[in-house]
Amino acid sequence: MVSETLKEILRCPHCVRTTGGELTLHRNAWFVCGDCGRKYPIVDDIPVMLIDEGEKWMNTPAADLPVPPPAK
């Protein structure tokens, strides 16, 4: 489980400098950026905050994201 402190400080690495990049936690398995729609998986309790990883899931509706996220 991701700590509350980490949830508060994490931001989308693509949007943080322009729009803030605030993230919402989806099903305790994904961080979803409200600005750009990138979706970052949480694998083994570690958020994978790589822009390329978030882009892979941009066109997947949040309701269709796999839980748990696929491991690499």
> Does the pLDDT at position 3 exceed 90?
no
Q: Which residue has the higher pLDDT, 25 or 1?
A: 25
> Does the pLDDT at position 72 exceed 80?
no
CATH number of the structural domain spanning residue 16: 2.20.25
Amino acid at 56: K
pLDDT tens by residue, 39-69: 999 999 999 999 999 999 999 999 999 999 9
Residue 52 CB contacts under 8 Å (≥ 6 apart), including other chains: none
> Does the pLDDT at position 1 exceed 90?
no
Is residue 18 assigned to a domain? yes
pLDDT, residue 71, reads 81
Is residue 58 assigned to a domain? yes
Between CA 15 and CA 33 the distance in angstroms is 8
Is residue 28 assigned to a domain? yes
Domain that holds residue 29: 4-64
Amino acid at 23: L
Domain count, the chain: 1
pLDDT, residue 61, reads 96
